[in-house]
Structure formats: C-alpha cells, structure tokens
Amino acid sequence: MPRLHLLHLDHAPALLEFEQDNRAYFAASIPDRGDEYFAQFEARHRALLAEQATGTCFFHVLLGSEGEVLGRVNLVDAADGSAELGYRIAERAAGRGLATSAVRAVCDLAAAEYGITTLRARTTLGNAASRAVLARTGFLPTGGIWLNGRPGLRFVRDGVTADRLRR
C-alpha cells in the first residue's frame, strides 16, 4: 500500500523521475512547469526543503512499495491555522483512489501535526477528477475563479465541515 512521507533530500531522484514521466499527463489539466523547472530541479528541491523547515509549507510524496513516487500532496502558505492544498497523482496510478486517500491523510496530518484546521484548494472546471477528490474529502466549493486562463472553482475544508461529513 502506498504511504505518504514528508519530503526530504533523498526523494529528489524519484521525484524528478515522477515529474518527467508525467509531464505531458499533468499539462493536459494544469499548466506545464516549463523546461527551467527540470533544468533547475536540484536547486528547486533544496529550496522547497528550506521553505519546509520554516513551517510555512509541508511537502509530501506518496511512495509505492519500490520507493517510486506515485504522487505529491502539498500544503503551502500555512499561517493562522490555514493552508492551501495542492496534489498530483501519476498517470499510471490514477483511478485507484490514491488521490482521495492521500488527501485524507494530509488533512489528518494538517490538523494533528501542523495545527492547520482550514484548508483551501483550487481546480479548473475541466478537472473533474480533482473536483471529485475534493468533494469526497470534505471540501466545499466557495466560488468561481479564473485559474491560469481557465474557469475554475475555489474550495474550502474546515474542521466543522469535515466533522459534519464524517457523521
């Protein structure tokens, strides 16, 4: 069973492979990271770890049994008990419920370990799978937005909402 891990330095090679292998798949629903992201990957990875050390971001990888990265689930801009959620799952792992279980696990970590009780998320209207994951994990739509030139929705999940959905 895949497990969620807080990002660390040793994840860099597998994470780079994950991003390269899934670049076209991700670009179909979200903006491409660009060539510079891959060219500067090592420096970017170290910068993420430095940012994580400040407690304003929590970056996670979903690892398979062979240590391969199957997904990422991140909490960014953490402040005053709130953070923004972002996630992506490998094409070969999509459709197996991994995104839903990984997002649920990060929501639990957010409250239990990081002191975060309110999570925000955004997705485009064209990303039905992401909207479904957010709905299944207790996020409620709060309004429309434009996201990288595409229509989208904002979502929020707070402790009260999550508790209501579990009952």
Q: Specify the long-range contacts of residues 125-130, CB closer than 8 Å, at least 24 apart.
A: 125/150, 125/151, 125/152, 125/153, 126/29, 126/150, 127/29, 127/30, 129/94, 129/99, 130/29, 130/87, 130/99
Residue 107 has pLDDT above 90, yes or no: yes
pLDDT tens digits, 24-56: 999 888 878 999 999 999 999 999 999 999 999
Q: What's the CATH superfamily of 3-166? A: Gcn5-related N-acetyltransferase (GNAT) (3.40.630.30)
Q: What is the mean pLDDT of the chain?
A: 92
**pLDDT value, residue 163:** 47
pLDDT tens digits, 65-93: 999 999 999 999 999 999 999 999 999 99
**pLDDT value, residue 30:** 80
